[in-house]
Amino acid sequence: MSRIGKKAVVLPQGVTAAVNGQTVTAKGPKGELKFVVNDDVLVKMENGEIAVEPRDQSKTARSKWGMSRTQISNILKGVKDGYERKLEISGVGYRAAMQGKNLQLSLGFSHEVVYQTPQGITISTPKPTEITVSGIDKQQVGQVAAEIREYRGPEPYKGKGVRYAGERIVRKEGKKK
C-alpha cells in the first residue's frame, strides 16, 4: 500500500488547480503546468484538496498511485515557488559563462561547449565556477542539470569536472611508487 498516495495534496496559497477527467492543471504566480494522470488512478478535487486513489487493487494501479500524487504535488510547488539546481565546476581553466541565452562551457576540451537553453528554463552563472538552473518543471530542471553535468562529470582522482552542489565525490588513490 502506498503511504504517500493516501495523503491528499493541499493547494498552496495563491495556486488554483482544476481536475478535468485525468488532466490536472495548476496555475500560479510562476506559470501554468499540466499533468495527465494514468488511467489506472482516479483523481478527485474535494474542498481545496486533490485526492488520488487507485481504480482497483491491481499491482499496476497501486504502483502508479503514489507516483501520481507526487507528480501533482510537484507541479503545485513548481507553479508557486519553482525549482532550482546548482552545479559547481572544479578544475584549472574550467569555467562557465552565459552567451546570450546559451551557456558556454570551457571544460578542458579543444573547443568550447555551447549548451542551448531549452524553453521554460533559466540558466545563470553567478560565478565562473557556478551554474544555477531554474524553472517551474522539476523534471525538466533536473534533466537540464544532468545534461550539463554529462559534458564532463567529476573524475575520481582529482575531482575535476562538473558536479551538483553538495555532491560528494568518492576519491581514488593514485599510482604508488
Residue with cell 574550467: 94
For the domain made up of 83-164, the CATH class stated in words is alpha beta
- Residue 99: the pLDDT is 92
Q: Is the confidence at residue 1, as pLDDT, over 70?
A: no
Instruction: Tell me which DSSP letter residue 109 carries.
Output: S
pTM: 0.88
Q: Is the confidence at residue 80, as pLDDT, over 90?
A: yes
- Residue 156: the pLDDT is 94
- Residue 6: the pLDDT is 85
176: which 3 cell numbers?
A: 604508488
pLDDT over 90 percentage in the chain = 72
CB atoms within 10 A of CB 54: 22
CA dist 11 and 73 (Å) reads 9
- Residue 72: the pLDDT is 93
One of 3.40.50.200, 3.40.50.300, 3.90.930.12, 3.30.565.10 is the CATH number of 3-80, namely 3.90.930.12
Determine the average pLDDT of the residues in 45-57. Answer: 89
Q: Is the confidence at residue 69, as pLDDT, over 70?
A: yes
> Which pLDDT tens digit goes with each residue over 110-132?
999 999 999 999 999 999 999 99
Biggest alpha carbon distance in the chain?
Answer: 71
The ranges assigned to domains in the chain are: 3-80, 83-164
Same-fold call for 3-80 versus 83-164 = yes
